Structure 1
Amino acid sequence: MNLTADNVFNIDKPIGWTSFDVVKKVRGITHIKKVGHAGTLDPFATGVLLVLTGSQTKLQTTFTDLRKVYVATVSLGSQTDTGDYTGSVISEDTVPNMTRAELESNFGSFVGDIFQVPPMFSAKKVNGQTLYKLARKGRTVEREPHPISIFSIELIDMQLPNFTMKVHCGKGTYIRTLAEDIAVSVGTVGHLTALRRLAIGEFVVEDAESITTFEERWKSCAA
């Protein structure tokens, strides 16, 4: 392990941790003052989180701009205020009886260069105000659709009311919103029950380290 202050660490973010929790932990382990990350993951999500230290933090935008791969599980029939299972149910609807082919046929309209409205529960700012902070106060503001790129959506499994998909996408894509939009396209509502980031560019989850393993290796190399 490179013990210099300038690093890119591929960390497998554990469920329940914020991206900043990981940054704070890495800072505490390494005692490197300048630590950041490239690409926020929601607390309920897991997978590849690139933690940047030292001069590598200047390349944050470069890493954030890389293509990403996710695997996401969607539950149809209920919508939550956060777009995932951690939120409160705000809407329910029947789940249509459909085949895999019928579900997959709806994916095509979301592949390519499209526009997506960011969710209220997100770190995006509108008029200088962070959306999730407004959402926690029960406020909703109008959000402008922003351009995103989705390169492919693959159906991995379907056992209604749930299905799992693999998404290759560009920066700024909200998988929670994609899940909700797909649910609407098949005539119902939905939310995410699981989300795992498999890759950011060439950084893949198979090479990612858990926080525990990272700490053990760092201390071993520093000894």
Structure 2
Amino acid sequence: MTTQSTILDGIVNFNKAGRVTSRAAVNQVLHAAGIRKLKAGHAGTLDPIATGVLVVCLGKATRLVPYIHEFPKEYIGTFQLGVQSPSDDIESPLHPLSDPHRPSCDEILAILPRFLGAIEQVPPIYSAVKVDGRRAYKLARAGEATELKPKTVEIHRIDIQSYVYPHLELKILCGTGTYIRSLGRDIASALNSAAVMTRLSRTAVGPFQLATAVAEGDLAAGLVGNVLPCQLGVSQLSQLTVDEIECNAMRNGQPFQPNEAQERVLANPKRTLELAAVGTDGRLIAIVKQRNGQIWPVKFLDAQA
């Protein structure tokens, strides 16, 4: 039986406002849902200062958060050169350099390729990174010295949007876990300067675009009509179409033997381990994987389960 809560099993492409935490933004979506105990979560934190795309998963779609994390993310970040701060943005006291280098646009363009591909990046000390079980920002606020370890992140593209010293605006396409504050700081350091991030907007997470995101004011009449199908969250996976018999097998945790059409998909998957099983109507039924010549359910999401 279809209920109001199963109608809301899906994804909201939410446009988070500034000065709002990601958790508070999720609560705004839940308030619009008007359903008690509806499970919800987001697929990638935005700092309070940041605006833009926050992918909010509802109901059974919360099981797809790890897959949404895999999508590349696009940001537009604005930085002020010649200034530094403990948090690498304007949320902590600013300290201007005494005689900062004023790089030309050509100088900036010349060093950007150093920051493409897999790079090592030290997160800001004011971040949600855990140090011995405690958040780094809590340690920083308590005045406790912390030394964060570098982590490997993937930067796909960096473009200069505008530059009039000291203000530099960059468009960045990157993988999960990237701190844009840290990237701006490190680019400025390579230019013999410093930088703080003054503004940040996440303009895309995979197929979820800022141009089609809904803001809190758009949800005044409720969520129905603003909930996107679960399959958008796994659009990077190859799709297997399954019939009702195969769906029932997966509902009971059982595998099934692939047919000829499914075998062709399995021969050239987008990803080697997991695939998206969809019904004949296109709805996402399950995440599956192949094992010993059979198709096994990994996560079952069919609303009728």
Q: Give me the TM-score of the superposition, normalised by structure 2.
A: 0.69
The answer on 1:7 being equivalent to 2:16 is no
163, 184, 193: which is aligned to 1:188? 193
The unaligned stretches of length 5 or more in structure 1 are none
Q: Deviations over 1:107-151 (max 9, x none)?
A: 111111111111111111122111111111122312111111001
The answer on 1:87 being equivalent to 2:92 is yes
24, 27, 36: which is aligned to 1:24? 27
136, 141, 150: which is aligned to 1:145? 150
> Does the 8 Å CA contact 2:8/2:224 hold for their aligned counterparts?
no
- CA distance change for structure 1 residues 176 and 36 in 2, over 3 Å: closer, same or farther? same
Inter-partner Cα distance in structure 2 for 1:194 and 1:48: 14
State the one-letter code of the partner of 2:26: V
Q: Deviations over 1:90-123 (max 9, x none)?
A: 4524332332111111111111111111111111
Q: How does 1:55-204 map to 2 (within 5 A)?
A: 55-90=60-95, 92-204=97-209
> Taking every aligned residue pair, what percent have the same amino acid on both sides?
34
Q: Give me the TM-score of the superposition, normalised by structure 1.
A: 0.93
Inter-partner Cα distance in structure 1 for 2:90 and 2:15: 21
State the 1:66 CA deviation.
Answer: 1.1
State the one-letter code of the partner of 1:130: R
Inter-partner Cα distance in structure 2 for 1:165 and 1:141: 29
- CA distance change for structure 1 residues 220 and 168 in 2, over 3 Å: closer, same or farther? closer
State the 1:43 CA deviation.
Answer: 0.6
> Does the 8 Å CA contact 1:197/1:205 hold for their aligned counterparts?
yes
Q: Deviations over 1:161-205 (max 9, x none)?
A: 111000010011000000110111111111001100010011110
> Does the 8 Å CA contact 2:77/2:197 hold for their aligned counterparts?
yes
- CA distance change for structure 1 residues 93 and 154 in 2, over 3 Å: closer, same or farther? farther
- CA distance change for structure 1 residues 154 and 141 in 2, over 3 Å: closer, same or farther? same
Inter-partner Cα distance in structure 2 for 1:113 and 1:15: 30
Inter-partner Cα distance in structure 2 for 1:54 and 1:20: 16
RMSD: 1.8
State the 1:5 CA deviation.
Answer: 3.0
> Does the 8 Å CA contact 1:93/1:189 hold for their aligned counterparts?
no
- CA distance change for structure 1 residues 52 and 93 in 2, over 3 Å: closer, same or farther? farther
The answer on 1:212 being equivalent to 2:217 is yes
Computing the radius of gyration over CA atoms, which structure comes out larger, 1 or 2?
Answer: 2
Inter-partner Cα distance in structure 2 for 1:140 and 1:64: 30
Inter-partner Cα distance in structure 1 for 2:156 and 2:223: 37
State the 1:29 CA deviation.
Answer: 1.9
Q: How does 1:38-53 map to 2 (within 5 A)?
A: 38-53=43-58
Q: What is the count of residue pairs matched by the alignment?
A: 220
- Most deviating of 21-30 and 10-19: 21-30
> Does the 8 Å CA contact 1:9/1:51 hold for their aligned counterparts?
yes
> Does the 8 Å CA contact 1:78/1:93 hold for their aligned counterparts?
no
Inter-partner Cα distance in structure 1 for 2:146 and 2:165: 33
- CA distance change for structure 1 residues 39 and 79 in 2, over 3 Å: closer, same or farther? same
Inter-partner Cα distance in structure 2 for 1:68 and 1:147: 16
Inter-partner Cα distance in structure 2 for 1:26 and 1:198: 19
Inter-partner Cα distance in structure 1 for 2:74 and 2:225: 32
